[in-house]
Structure 1
Amino acid sequence: MKRNNVNRVLLNDFLGADYADYTDSFVSRKLHLEYSYLHCNPCNPRNPRLKFSYILIFFLLCFFPLHAQDPIPSCPLISKVTANCDTLRSYSQRTDTVAVPQIAFPSGFQQLGENELTDSLGILNPFWEKLRLLHAGFSTDTIRIVHIGDSHIRGRILPRTTGTLLTETFGAISYTDMGINGAFCTTFTRPDRISDIAALHPDLVILSFGTNESHNRRYNTLLHYRQMDELVRMLRDSLPNVPLLMTTPPGSYDSFRKSRRRRTYSINPRTAIAVETMRRFADDNGLAVWDMYEAVGGRQRACLNWQEAKLMRPDHVHYLPEGYVLQGELFYQALLKAYNDYVGY
């Protein structure tokens, strides 16, 4: 330091006062920059503030444990058993579904099919929703069902069995049957009959035909298809937003008599063809289907099941009251299954 001062004095004498002032200014700036770098630069490891920060962080890490948002348990609680969680679907089923009764078939019934509705397009969803609201107590509106068909409906036991059971389950149900003996699909294509159906303001229309069509020995699938199309078009013109549900016939026999011998009976082979035509028409035109024929045994066993259980009348076409009650219960069961499928999703 002394040597530097001597040098400064000699230079001052030799160069004069201006150089001395310049030197003092240069040294001052240098000292200022060194001080700033040491004390103000946060990246300088010699910065005292940075050293203090490092010491503070180390102290905190040593004496305070780290935690996430929720502390992680030191070991799993193996003794605890997790409870089953209800999904929205199970909650919906618990509150909205209804109990589906088991059907007591006569002991002679064999090779039964699935008793269910076919509705791949969800045609009946508006109807199911009205039932759901009624069942849950969110609606007090009466739900109106109109069931049209042939003599099986005209006898009233089948539709009234189904209607009574639906009323007991859901409440305000109006189930109106409009059956005509010997009716074909075209029997209801008269404008006055379409008007009578529309005047009831139905939420669902059920069509039950096929027995009389299939009893014609000159049965023609194309003609049958066209007859169904005519009826459905007229109904949709008058009731554009009302879903249609078609049911297939239960099965019947042909009768024969040779000369003066007793009348003999054989299974009507055209019933299965008519049922296939009805299902194809429904699939092509957006109708739901309840295939009773298949549910009670189909081509192989439907007629045999009814006959062996002694539920058919002597004409082998119509049924005893117990037979129609069973058919009404089967229809009711199929409706409940489809309803539960709707509210279960």
Structure 2
Amino acid sequence: MRMNKYIPILLLVYLVHPSIGWSQDRIPRRFTSRKGMKSFRSLPERRVGGDTIAVGTVLPATFKGGTPNRLIDSLQVLTPVLERLRLLKTGVSEDSLRVVHIGDSHVRGHIYPQTTAQKLIETFGPISYTDLGVNGATCLTFTHPQRIAAITALKPELLILSFGTNESHNRSYNANTHYQQMDELIGLLHDSLPGVPILLTTPPGSYDSFRRRRRRTYAINPRTQTAARMILKYAADHELAVWDLYNVVGGGQRACKNWAEARFMRPDHVHYVPEGYVLQGELLYEAIIKAYNDYVSD
């Protein structure tokens, strides 16, 4: 993955986010190569039946207690996006589908969103997938007029919003406040980009850290489950699509344990090693493809 590919994106983020260096959590180490990484093979993609695409992501054997990896979109909010993908796949259209993925340091590390981007490009062709992540970001981070303007200038046809880790990392977390903050950001996005579908995602899971007898210890952050629940509630209340990563990988009982036991978490127990972010990107891609298959099969 060549670094110069990200220079325009990183310049844009730097200009729009002058306070990046003062955020709450550290930037994940940049992923530059799969060399030396454990091998996690996805099932080979092939055409099945008519227009559907075979897809499957192999999880580590230690992963337990997950739910089916599917987008939640009962009102078919993503139908325009799925139709654009169909037109690209069948060669009817050659115009790029523009996707903008915003979020916290999980997004800013690029590995997670760009894994999804690369696999979508391999499958459908011309897709412009821009990730804009801010270290330590919550929903409120992106309500600044300059940030809304930067997102609007990219003219997205799909917006993906990945927040919740930093909201729930605050030990004074309040679920109602979190809901209101989501409403503020999404209201601004709707005003600036009317009609653009929005896909929310829940956080992957993280730990709290404590000092005990001069040693740092870690415990599963119980507020992440509440934050994920509020994201799901907001999506249902406001007719948005949502991808529930938190419960896909095990939820309150197993999400953190699954990541940790697979050695996919960094020592801070908040961020992930490259393999973990690659797996998250592959899972998002898989969920999108399953939605696509449902669409073209109807």
TM-score scaled to structure 2, two decimals? 0.83
For residue 140 of structure 2, give the secondary structure of its aligned residue in structure 1.
helix
Give the 4+ runs in structure 1 shifted more than 6 A: none
Give the counterpart of 2:84 among 130, 137, 160: 130
1:344 aligns with 2:297: yes
Give the share of equivalent positions with the same residue, in percent: 63
1:316 aligns with 2:263: no
For the residues of structure 2 that align with 1:257 and 1:128, how far apart are their CA atoms? 48
Structure number with the higher helix fraction is 1
Give 1:95 deviation, angstroms.
Answer: 3.0
For residue 315 of structure 1, give the secondary structure of its aligned residue in structure 2.
coil
Equivalence for 1:279: 232
Equivalence for 2:3: none
1:234 aligns with 2:188: yes
Equivalence for 1:97: 52
| Structure having greater relative contact order (Cα 8 Å, sep ≥ 6) | 2
Unaligned runs of 5+ in 1: 1-92
1:296 aligns with 2:249: yes
Equivalence for 2:143: 189
For residue 229 of structure 1, give the secondary structure of its aligned residue in structure 2.
helix
Equivalence for 1:106: 60
Give 1:173 deviation, angstroms.
Answer: 0.5
User: 1:142-200 deviations in whole A, cap 9, x for unaligned?
Assistant: 00100000000000000000000000000001110000000000000011111111111
User: 1:189-220 deviations in whole A, cap 9, x for unaligned?
Assistant: 01111111111111100000000000111110
For the residues of structure 1 that align with 2:65 and 2:185, how far apart are their CA atoms? 33
Give the counterpart of 1:178 among 118, 127, 132: 132
For the residues of structure 2 that align with 1:204 and 1:238, how far apart are their CA atoms? 13
Give 1:116 deviation, angstroms.
Answer: 0.5
For the residues of structure 2 that align with 1:283 and 1:214, how far apart are their CA atoms? 20
Question: Within 5 Å, which residues of 2 pair with 1:116-127?
Answer: 116-127=70-81
For the residues of structure 2 that align with 1:297 and 1:291, how far apart are their CA atoms? 10
Give 1:108 deviation, angstroms.
Answer: 1.1
Equivalence for 1:36: none
Give 1:96 deviation, angstroms.
Answer: 2.0
User: 1:291-336 deviations in whole A, cap 9, x for unaligned?
Assistant: 0000000111000000011110000000000000000000100000
Unaligned runs of 5+ in 2: 1-47
1:248 aligns with 2:199: no
For the residues of structure 1 that align with 2:264 and 2:94, how far apart are their CA atoms? 39
Give the counterpart of 1:200 among 154, 166, 170: 154
For residue 319 of structure 1, give the secondary structure of its aligned residue in structure 2.
coil
RMSD of Structure 2 on Structure 1 (CA): 1.1
Give the counterpart of 1:305 among 253, 258, 273: 258
For the residues of structure 2 that align with 1:188 and 1:328, how far apart are their CA atoms? 22
1:331 aligns with 2:294: no
For residue 263 of structure 1, give the secondary structure of its aligned residue in structure 2.
strand
User: 1:274-295 deviations in whole A, cap 9, x for unaligned?
Assistant: 1001100010011100000000
For the residues of structure 1 that align with 2:170 and 2:154, how far apart are their CA atoms? 32
TM-score scaled to structure 1, two decimals? 0.72
**Number of residue-to-residue matches in the alignment:** 252
User: 1:62-120 deviations in whole A, cap 9, x for unaligned?
Assistant: xxxxxxxxxxxxxxxxxxxxxxxxxxxxxxx73322221x2121121111211110001
For the residues of structure 2 that align with 1:153 and 1:319, how far apart are their CA atoms? 11
For residue 246 of structure 1, give the secondary structure of its aligned residue in structure 2.
strand
Equivalence for 2:95: 141
For the residues of structure 2 that align with 1:234 and 1:94, how far apart are their CA atoms? 42
Question: Within 5 Å, which residues of 2 pair with 1:9-20?
Answer: none
